[in-house]
């Protein structure tokens, strides 16, 4: 699932109130140990798909703290943060709140969440790198990874088969050779690989695979890095893919990729693991051929290794205004601990840690997404990253590259200039 980073605008006013109350200087180590109430905000995903795991966490806390009342509120992703911003400006903040992992940074920068000690949470030493990055800011942790969702390649077995291809590719050379065969067989108007140009999650996977990055931290300051030789190598390869196999509208993003895939206009996509299954749903499948005909595989990278993928997912945080921070931490640990992770994996999610991820690799049904998630990247945890996303700097750069409006070098240079103007701004 895709979640956009919340810009600082929505939380700026709320932070005035937090600062007046002492802000993140409050120490949560002994705050709320004797609290009698706990308010937990989760999204409807938990309410609809794993309510038993929520109850198990409740039971663990109430067993240790008899008489504690636990209240749950559930929100949809579109309206959650608007309501959170409003309540954080009052003295009625929730004690636990679920955040999309790309939403965390704006709140951490503004001091909305209390720091936590990772050592108090099970398997924290094994948190997936991308998820660990999402809860970390300036050397401290301000949340706990909940679960993850990765990205995989997915193609149509019938289209590949008609081009004489019988197995999924294991190397990038094999992949491009197979796509060349598919493109030749299906014709110039077909998208052997439907890769939306503005899909910066995919493009940056090529950048990181080549050893580049969006930005680097040097001496406490962040500096854009898209013009580095390594990053340019990754961007150039991404352009090669778009030029060779993407024959649709090169100004589009990835938001309706599964719909296009379901229309039968492409042979392969590289996206969130749920996209293939959603395209094959009868509501999306306009070909009538996709059910049992789609196959996931780990995306190989030009480097010779599996391409690093962006890890989406959720984190759990404790608002700095919570009056029950100790109980909140205990509830989070009960919910995200070993039993909770087993329950989440049973529901098709990736776990928050490498130990459990290794078990999924042993199951043929989950081997591909688990293997793909082992190599991952996350956005720069810079104070102004929200402004980079809000301005759609990466999307603009990629569209300029994909449409040929600018060379790779010129577009990357302009993007670096734009990023450097805002990335260190709180």
Helix runs in 246-391, H state only? 257-262, 274-280, 325-336, 338-346, 354-361, 367-374, 385-390
What is the C-alpha radius of gyration for the chain, rounded to an integer number of angstroms? Answer: 22
Token pair of 308 as six digits: 């690093």
Q: What is the pLDDT of residue 8?
A: 33
Chosen domain end from 360, 377, 394: 377
Q: What is the pLDDT of residue 78?
A: 85
Q: Reduce the DSSP state of residue 143 to 3 states and report it.
A: coil
N- to C-terminal Cα distance for the chain? Answer: 27
Residues 226, 243, single domain; the answer is yes
Q: If we measure between CA atoms, which residue out of 139, 130, 140 comes closest to residue 352?
A: 130
Q: Is residue 296 situated within a structural domain?
A: yes
Q: Is residue 266 situated within a structural domain?
A: yes
Residues 124, 222, single domain; the answer is no
Residues 407, 293, single domain; the answer is yes
Q: What is the pLDDT of residue 31?
A: 74
The region, left, alpha or beta by phi > 0 then psi within -120 to 50, assigned to residue 286 is alpha
Instruction: Tell me if 36 sits within 8 A of 67, measured CB to CB.
Output: yes
What is the rounded distance in angstroms from the CA atom of residue 395 to the CA atom of residue 397?
Answer: 5
Token pair of 71 as six digits: 């209240």
Q: Tell me phi and psi for residue 395, to 5 degrees.
A: -60, -40
Q: Is residue 346 situated within a structural domain?
A: yes
Residues 199, 268, single domain; the answer is yes
Token pair of 182 as six digits: 């598919």
Residues 281, 401, single domain; the answer is yes
Residues 188, 203, single domain; the answer is yes
Q: What is the pLDDT of residue 311?
A: 92
What is the rounded distance in angstroms from the CA atom of residue 82 to the CA atom of residue 103?
Answer: 12
Q: How many helices (H) and strands (E) does the chain have?
A: 19, 14
Residues 266, 409, single domain; the answer is yes
Q: What is the CATH number of the domain that holds 79?
A: 3.40.190.10
Residues 221, 276, single domain; the answer is yes
Name beta bridge partners: 301. none
Q: If we measure between CA atoms, which residue out of 289, 46, 62 comes closest to residue 157?
A: 289
For the chain, what is the domain count?
2
Give, for 316, the enclosing helix (H) or strand (E). Answer: strand 312-317
pLDDT in tens, the chain (426 residues): 434 333 333 443 444 344 434 444 444 446 767 889 999 999 999 999 999 999 999 999 999 999 999 999 999 998 899 999 999 989 899 999 999 999 999 999 999 999 999 999 999 999 999 999 999 999 999 999 999 998 999 999 999 999 999 999 999 999 999 999 999 999 999 999 999 999 999 999 999 999 999 999 998 899 999 999 999 999 999 999 999 999 999 999 999 999 999 999 999 999 999 999 999 999 999 999 999 999 999 999 999 999 999 999 999 999 999 999 999 999 999 999 999 999 999 999 999 999 999 999 999 989 999 999 999 999 999 999 999 999 999 999 999 999 999 999 999 999 999 999 999 998
Q: What is the pLDDT of residue 426?
A: 87
Q: Tell me phi and psi for residue 315, to 5 degrees.
A: -125, 165
Q: How far is CA 81 from the centre of its chain?
A: 17
Instruction: Tell me if 359 sits within 8 A of 373, measured CB to CB.
Output: no
Name beta bridge partners: 53. none
Helix 51-64 vs helix 338-346: crossing angle, to nearest 10: 170
Q: Is residue 142 situated within a structural domain?
A: yes
Residues 64, 114, single domain; the answer is yes
Residues 218, 335, single domain; the answer is no
Residues 262, 392, single domain; the answer is yes
Chosen domain end from 377, 393, 409: 377
Range of the domain at 349: 37-150+312-377
The region, left, alpha or beta by phi > 0 then psi within -120 to 50, assigned to residue 313 is left
Q: Is residue 14 situated within a structural domain?
A: no
Residues 236, 109, single domain; the answer is no
Q: Is residue 21 situated within a structural domain?
A: no
Match 């990247």 to its residue by tokens: 377
Q: What is the pLDDT of residue 30?
A: 60
Q: Is residue 124 situated within a structural domain?
A: yes
Residues 6+ apart with CB under 8 A from 220: none
Q: Is residue 17 situated within a structural domain?
A: no
Q: How far is CA 350 from the centre of its chain?
A: 12
What is the rounded distance in angstroms from the CA atom of residue 96 to the CA atom of residue 319?
Answer: 7
Q: What is the pLDDT of residue 25?
A: 41
């Amino acid at each position: 699932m895709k979640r956009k980073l919340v810009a600082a605008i929505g939380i700026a006013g709320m932070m005035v109130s937090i600062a007046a109350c002492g802000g993140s200087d409050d120490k949560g180590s002994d705050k709320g140990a004797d609290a009698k109430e706990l308010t937990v905000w989760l999204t409807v995903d938990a309410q609809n798909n794993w309510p038993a795991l929520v109850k198990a966490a409740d039971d663990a806390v109430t067993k240790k703290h008899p008489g504690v009342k636990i209240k749950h509120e559930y929100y949809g992703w579109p309206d959650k943060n608007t309501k959170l911003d409003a309540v954080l400006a009052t003295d009625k903040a929730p004690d636990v709140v679920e955040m999309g992992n790309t939403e965390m940074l704006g709140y951490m920068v503004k001091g909305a969440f209390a720091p936590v000690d990772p050592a108090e949470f099970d398997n924290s030493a094994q948190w997936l790198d991308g998820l660990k990055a999402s809860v970390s800011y300036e050397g401290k942790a301000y949340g706990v990874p909940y679960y993850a969702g990765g990205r995989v390649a997915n193609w149509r077995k019938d289209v590949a088969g008609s081009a004489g291809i019988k197995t999924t590719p294991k190397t990038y050379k094999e992949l491009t050779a197979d796509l060349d065969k598919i493109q030749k067989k299906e014709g110039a108007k077909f998208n052997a690989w439907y890769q939306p140009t503005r899909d910066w999650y995919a493009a940056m996977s090529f950048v990181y695979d080549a050893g580049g990055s969006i930005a680097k931290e040097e001496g406490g300051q962040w500096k854009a890095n898209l013009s580095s030789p390594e990053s340019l190598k990754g961007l150039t390869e991404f352009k090669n893919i778009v030029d060779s196999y993407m024959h649709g509208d090169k100004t589009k993003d990835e938001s309706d990729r599964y719909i296009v895939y379901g229309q039968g206009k492409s042979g392969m996509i590289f996206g969130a693991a749920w996209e293939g299954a959603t395209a094959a749903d009868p509501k999306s499948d306009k070909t009538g051929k996709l059910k049992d005909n789609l196959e996931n595989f780990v995306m190989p990278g030009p480097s010779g290794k599996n391409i690093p993928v962006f890890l989406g997912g959720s984190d759990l945080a404790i608002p700095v205004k919570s009056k029950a921070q100790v109980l909140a931490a205990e509830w989070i640990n009960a919910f995200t601990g070993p039993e909770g992770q087993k329950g989440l994996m049973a529901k098709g999610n990736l776990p928050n840690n490498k130990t459990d991820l290794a078990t999924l690799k042993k199951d043929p049904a989950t081997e591909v997404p688990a293997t793909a998630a082992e190599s991952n990247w996350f956005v720069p945890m810079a104070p102004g990253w929200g402004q980079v996303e809000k301005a759609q700097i990466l999307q603009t750069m990629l569209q300029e590259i994909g449409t040929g409006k600018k060379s790779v070098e010129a577009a990357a240079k302009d993007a670096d200039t734009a990023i450097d103007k805002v990335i260190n701004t709180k």
